[in-house]
């Protein structure tokens, strides 16, 4: 799953690095990836994002991503330390996720 707000963050990150083509490519890949469920922002997510923003003093985009994960009961895979502040959600770094995945038996 991916929050639609994550598309904003990815696009912005690559633009800041001067990689406009990569920004477009990466967000297009995510937008049309059939293996990913896109999680929209609704009123409940918006209110919870406000709660997280106020409680943890994190950037608003991070608050929206966290709120989306909260309602989806999802784990956020990120190296952004802001997410580790939020006790109501579960986070893992990409390395932790890969290690966890490698430990799980396949069927």
Q: Mean pLDDT for the chain?
A: 94
Check which CATH number belongs to the domain holding 11 and give it: 3.40.50.1010
pLDDT value at 107 more than 90: no
Domain count, the chain: 1
| Radius of gyration over every alpha carbon of the chain, rounded to an integer in angstroms | 15
The residue whose two tokens read 């893992």 is 92
**Residue 27 banded pLDDT, cuts 50, 70, 90:** very high
**Residue 105 banded pLDDT, cuts 50, 70, 90:** confident
pLDDT digits (tens, 9 = 90+) for 66-79: 999 999 999 999 99
DSSP class per residue in 46-103 = HHHHHHHHHHH---HHHHHHHHHHHHHT-EEE---GGGGG-TTSEEE-HHHHHHHHHH
Q: Residue 39 is part of which domain span?
A: 2-103
């Amino acid at each position: 799953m991916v929050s639609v707000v994550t598309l904003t963050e990815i696009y912005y990150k690559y633009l800041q690095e001067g990689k406009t083509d990569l920004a477009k490519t990466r967000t297009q890949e995510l937008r049309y990836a059939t293996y990913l469920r896109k999680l929209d922002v609704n009123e409940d997510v918006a209110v919870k994002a406000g709660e997280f923003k106020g409680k943890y003093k994190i950037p608003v985009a991070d608050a929206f991503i966290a709120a989306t994960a909260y309602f989806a009961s999802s784990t956020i895979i990120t190296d952004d330390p802001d997410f580790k502040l939020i006790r109501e959600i579960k986070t893992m770094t990409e390395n932790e996720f890969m290690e966890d995945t490698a430990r799980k038996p396949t069927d």
